[in-house]
Structure 1
């Protein structure tokens, strides 16, 4: 028995033996060192004296349940555990519990290990990981969104619209592309300054985003031009959507001047005989919508046109003052 007593006494971890009532029967030298008590101050007292006051009631309830259904608990932090020294300071611990019977009495061996440094390192690693995730999310946002309006940028639009057309092609569904260009935007910048021009772009972007369907892909093409990809819209439905968007921009308030937009529309119609790939389809649709946009500019601005409505002899080249 002497060797076991020595093992207990000089173990590198704090070791406590509790009775069924939670009172300390034995403690080793490391327990005195860890908690700052002489063992005479510990023996006969309940183990809750070593638990921060805010956890003491909960700990006593857990201890009571453990005594009724005692089972071993290995080291390995499953939750944050804290102990309290004689001077009132708290520290993080890991605990191993091992039920045992001696002379017919139910006892529990409790091994307590100070893990303050380990927890600090884990917390620091967790903080660094969260910070990296936050920075990654910010970089992804910057890479895919226009900094001024918050809409998708051209790169992101091309990716998402390509996926949309791939889906439309596979499901034999229709889809439409709408290109919107703010009318006489250069005059706004020249008359009211670029700060007001930026306000106009932001207001137009917000109006378009609010008026588009949740499933639509809304992006800033660049400058004063915006583009929208809409799944499932035929020619007539796309014109209704275009009119809704045109009206939303025309109804913007609290700007230095009124703002209008011209809209060009093109629709993808499934063709089982076509061998065009989605990227080619997207490029063709964008080109057609752009032609329809220039026709809307030529014929008076603040209006919408579908590519299929263009006159057969329409010149695709833009006029110099079309914007």
Structure 2
């Protein structure tokens, strides 16, 4: 796994899992079983088209409806497909600390390079309990952790002051930020060595411009090269071009992520239309209807026309 040293923080890589990461869907067969062959083909395509790393069994990967065994099998299959040089981050977050530790150890054994750990959901723990939860998981495994801050789904966020304390743990190295608290994110970026990854595609360029590490993207399942081009242009010093590329991607981002359908549903709908591995979603999710699919296809075709 390659990393880029940080000029301001030379003691820790600033991009522990790369810059451009895809929150990969979990392909299923038409009967709803895990499609490991499809997962391998999709993973190889994503890497070939610009993804530095892959996040498995996150929100987009339908982690609430895949079994512990399926999660481990998925890591092993994708590792076989992409080799050792591509970072694989395994989603292991649950609402149960003990279960999360079990999943973390299983992911480590299966060959993951890092862990994505979401805030415990439904029980709405206070901040001291949130902090203790993450510390217990970081202590249990030898893998680096990315904290997943998505209060819109969990009901509890990781407050900036809690992030500052957690940043002191040697294995807590990154954040997937879906907090929609841009000021809070900048506060933590400026005061810690945590690698901040945008978890909301509309923030990819903005967060990168203020010191973020990159993104972990659902939309990258279908246009990995277009999203990476935004960061590449900024990295090359051409801010106007990077801004235009981000703006061009906005209609597809909006339809995939803010149309009232979960990103898993829209990503799988597009992948299926494009003849790429995806398959159905698992209940309680339901597939997109024809009208939604046609809108997604139009936005995709407009973005990829040139």
Structure with more of its chain in strand, by fraction:
1
Tell me the TM-score normalised to structure 2 length. 0.24
Q: Which has the larger radius of gyration?
A: 1
Tell me the TM-score normalised to structure 1 length. 0.23
**Which one scores higher on RCO, CA 8 angstroms, separation ≥ 6?**
2
